[in-house]
Amino acid sequence: MTSGMSTVVYPVKDLAGAKTLYGRLLGVEPYADQPYYVGFRLGDLELGLDPNGHSQGMTGPVGYWEVDDIEKTLELLFAAGAEEQQAIRDVGGGKLIASVKDADGNVTGLAQSP
């Protein structure tokens, strides 16, 4: 079951510049500020900046939908014609993410919290 979009991640080449820009836009300081990821929280939504996104095939922002069972959700999406973009991986603390592409090349992310 999907409970809503929880995160939007932008691939960035200049992490420091993007952190300044989005910090000013959002009016908040990042809750996560690491060389591999900067994250801002706005209520229930997270905006993330990924300096490795381009090298992982991200061509633009990716929205991540929070799901109860990431493996089952992927099976349903593959059966409906989706292709794997990024396999399931643990991004820390037991949080799992993956992404798929639809027939038009649009990328959709999935996230399962521990």
pTM of the model: 0.86
90 sits in which H/E element: strand 83-90
Cβ 32 vs Cβ 19: under 8 Å:
no
Closest alpha carbon to 7 in 50, 63, 56, 60? 63
How far apart (Å, rounded) are the C-alpha atoms in residues 35 and 4? 28
Look at residue 31 in the predicted model and tell me its pLDDT: 96
Altogether, the residues listed in the chain come to a count of: 114
- CATH number, domain 2-112, options 3.40.50.1100, 3.40.718.10, 3.40.50.720, 3.10.180.10: 3.10.180.10
Give the pair of three-digit tokens for residue 18. 């993007």
Domain ranges of the chain: 2-112
Look at residue 40 in the predicted model and tell me its pLDDT: 97
Cα angle for residues 48, 53, 81 (degrees, 5° grid): 100
How far apart (Å, rounded) are the C-alpha atoms in residues 64 and 96? 11
Q: Profile the chain (114 residues) by mean pLDDT over runs of 10 residues.
A: 86 96 96 96 94 90 95 97 95 94 92 94
Q: Strand 2-11 vs strand 45-50: parallel, antiparallel, or unpaired?
A: parallel
Give the pair of three-digit tokens for residue 105. 């090349």
Compute φ and ψ for 47, nearest 5 degrees. Answer: -110, 120
